[in-house]
Amino acid sequence: MNVHLYTLSTCPHCDKAKRFFVERAIPFESIDYDLADAGTQARIQAEMEEAGSAGFPFARIGRDSVEGFAPERYSELLGG
């Protein structure tokens, strides 16, 4: 299952989200929104708006999305 994580480089909850996936050896792609180029930021913003989300971290797990640090929801979507 594909996991994409959009974060802010200065966000402690974003660091916790990254650590969640790393500690469980779950492969994921991570982009720091605030450090990305304008085109990438526009793509992430459009994806978040489509999902009705405005906060970070923002995770896309398969076809589902999760706003904020929500380890229980991450586990549920990952099947465990």
- Whole-number Å distance between alpha carbons of 5 and 15: 11
Domain at 16, CATH number: 3.40.30.10
| pLDDT above 90: residue 1 | no
Q: Each residue of 19-44: pLDDT tens digit?
A: 999 999 999 999 999 999 999 999 99
Q: Structurally, how many domains does the chain consist of?
A: 1
| pLDDT above 90: residue 80 | no
Q: Which of 24, 29, 22, 27 is nearest to 6 (CA)?
A: 29
Q: 40 lies in which domain range?
A: 3-77
pTM for this one? 0.92
| pLDDT above 90: residue 12 | yes
Q: Each residue of 45-67: pLDDT tens digit?
A: 999 999 999 999 999 999 999 99
